[in-house]
Amino acid sequence: MSQRDKTSSSTSFNEIVPPLHNSNTITKFHPISHTLITITQLILSTLSLLYIPSSNLLDDPVKCLNITTITLFFVQFITELSRWLLYLQEDGIETNKSIKAMFKNLIENKGENFAHALWITLFGAFMFHLIAVVFGAPAIDPESIPEKLIYYTTVSTVIGAWLGAIVIPLDWDRPWQMWPIPCVIGGFIGHVIGSIISLFVCYFGGE
């Protein structure tokens, strides 16, 4: 094969196969798209905590949180997945076709493959992160846009829940002082603040 044929073959291959992202190289921030996703996420999170559960958080926190936890999981999963779709579209991957195929497969297999893939993803992500940190990867230094959006929101949520616990031992005798209500409210407020902070950090620190 001549050098020209090799060059032509390499060029055609690169045109067919879209480049794959290294997560640490995703530094381009989409202000409007990410802001809309974050606003949608916060609205759905508020509905999941205060309006969707049949029991009020102050009246029956355990029953309320049983429903809230499930709905929040899907809210976070779908909204964060939509963030990644922004970068898949940017790479030229046929996301619409992929999404249709995913839902068709989900319906045909009654969710079995989805549950199996979800378990592998959660366990695999934890183990991969643990191994990566052991071999020198930064544990608390997010570099890419998706990492920053998740990291600052998570840290702020944990801090908010921790600060919320301060009012539990105080002798104010208020119904909202009962555990775990202050932690839930503090975590929710921290999540809102962290979501806003992460947008500002990505806006001023991205491309």
Does a structural domain hold residue 155?
Answer: yes
Does a structural domain hold residue 60?
Answer: no
pLDDT surpassing 70 at residue 187 = yes
Does a structural domain hold residue 12?
Answer: no
Backbone torsions φ then ψ of 60, nearest 5 degrees: -145, 80
Q: Which helix (H) or strand (E) holds 137?
A: none
| CA 25, chain centre distance (Å) | 18
CA distance 90 to 93: 8
Does a structural domain hold residue 112?
Answer: no
Contact between 63 and 187 under an 8 Å Cβ cutoff? The reply is no
Does a structural domain hold residue 84?
Answer: no
Preceding omega of 182 cis (within 30 degrees of 0): no
pLDDT band at residue 128 using 50, 70 and 90 as cut-offs: low
Provide the domain limits for residue 173.
Answer: 140-207
Does a structural domain hold residue 160?
Answer: yes
pLDDT surpassing 80 at residue 113 = no
Q: CA-based angle 92:75:19, to the nearest 5? A: 15
What pLDDT is recorded for position 185? 93
What pLDDT is recorded for position 157? 93
User: Of 89, 47, 38, which is closest to residue 68 (Cα–Cα)?
Assistant: 47
Structural domains counted in the chain = 1
pLDDT band at residue 193 using 50, 70 and 90 as cut-offs: very high
206: Cβ contacts below 8 Å, ≥ 6 apart: 27, 28, 29, 145
Does a structural domain hold residue 89?
Answer: no
What pLDDT is recorded for position 16? 44
pLDDT band at residue 92 using 50, 70 and 90 as cut-offs: very low
- Name the more confident of 74 and 115: 74
Dump the DSSP string for 40-103. Answer: HHHHHHHHHHHTSSSS-TTT-HHHHHHHHHHHHHHHHHHHHHHHHHHHHHHTT--HHHHHHHHH
Does a structural domain hold residue 168?
Answer: yes
Contact between 78 and 48 under an 8 Å Cβ cutoff? The reply is no
